[in-house]
Amino acid sequence: MPLTNSQYESIRRNYENRQNKNRHILNERTEQVYKQIAGYRELDSSVSSVSVECGKRMLEGDENALSELKEQLHNLSAKKNHLLVSAGFPSDYLAPIYDCPDCQDTGYINGEKCHCFKQQMISILYEQSNIHEMLETENFSNLSYEYYSGEDLLLFERAVETSKSFIQSFDKNYHNLFFYGKVGCGKSFLSGCIAKELIETGHSIIYFSAIGLFEFLSRYSFDYKNKENLYNTFEDLYNCDLVILDDLGTEVTNSFVTSQLFSCLNERHIRKKSTLISTNLSLEELRERYSDRVFSRITSNYTVCRLSGPDIRLKKLFNNVK
């Protein structure tokens, strides 16, 4: 999964902190037991001395040493357990403590990342995407066709199927999506559905509104004092698995915007990194507002989906007011 070295280092430190925290808790419990249960410390010491003695015997070729060690350790464990329970402690009170018993707080199981490691990665990817709160509502579990009918319904159903196909084949084929249509007909909603599904499978997604993207690119181009601080985001823009550019056309369009848009789309195309664009512009307006190069790049390298219908956000608002 595509995280930076610093992000991996952050996860690694989390595991170290877990281990240190749980080791401290276990040490405190052990000292508590030593103080309250007479003879328990001596039994613990016996485990060490018996093991050392067995090691010597094995080196000397004693074939019975290992089986006798197992028996002695079993007897010592039974005595310790009896003392614990008799004193009112749980039998596992001094067992190793783990936040994740599956990987024992190492992050890995048989060389593979544990589910807890993957969950930390997904949390970072959500934070990086800038759309965590949006995806709580804009996802396939909230998908509804009730506001569509006729041709609008047909177009929306087709766009949903295209979105699901995009997700299913994401790791196999390089492809891009372009949603266009009137305000409130489901473009941003489907973008959110795609983003959530891909983040949940560990893909890096970055969301930009058109205004936000070009403001960022302007700062990166001209704010020399903060250029170094903006570098990581600039690199993510070209290297993350999917960039979602929402509401293209709402920005003030000029020669800088047009050239930066083409550079962004072209560079991601060269790197075979997918892009999803949504806009309220028609294809004719897209061509008029941006250069022929931008129009050609989108229409030749993107799956184009038109959506139509009423402004669903307004409909929902009116329904809530009633």
Residues 86-95, buried b or exposed e (16+ Cβ, 10 A)? eeebeeebbe
Please state, in angstroms and rounded to a whole number, the distance separating the CA atoms of residues 110 and 73. 28
Grade residue 229 by pLDDT with cuts at 50, 70 and 90: low
The secondary structure of 183-221 as a DSSP string is TTSSHHHHHHHHHHHHHHTT--EEEEEHHHHHHHHHHHH
Neighbours of 84 (CB within 10 A): 18
Tens of pLDDT, residue by residue over 89-111, are 999 999 999 999 999 999 999 99
- Class of the CATH domain delimited by 130-321: alpha beta
- The two most distant CA atoms of the chain are separated, in Å, by 90
Do strands 108-109 and 112-113 pair parallel, antiparallel, or not at all (unpaired)? antiparallel
Grade residue 1 by pLDDT with cuts at 50, 70 and 90: very low
pTM beyond 0.75, yes or no: no
**Mean pLDDT confidence for 227-242:** 77
Contacts of 51 (CB under 8 A, 6+ apart): 69, 73
Residue 278 dihedral angles phi and psi, to the nearest 5°: -125, 145
Contact 166, 194 (CB under 8 A): yes
Strand 303-307: give its sheet, edge to edge.
Answer: 205-209, 242-248, 274-279, 177-181, 303-307
Tens of pLDDT, residue by residue over 255-296, are 999 999 999 999 999 999 999 999 999 999 999 999 899 999
Grade residue 300 by pLDDT with cuts at 50, 70 and 90: very high
Grade residue 30 by pLDDT with cuts at 50, 70 and 90: very high
Going from the C-alpha of 266 to that of each of 23, 31, 174, 298, the distances in angstroms are 52, 64, 14, 10
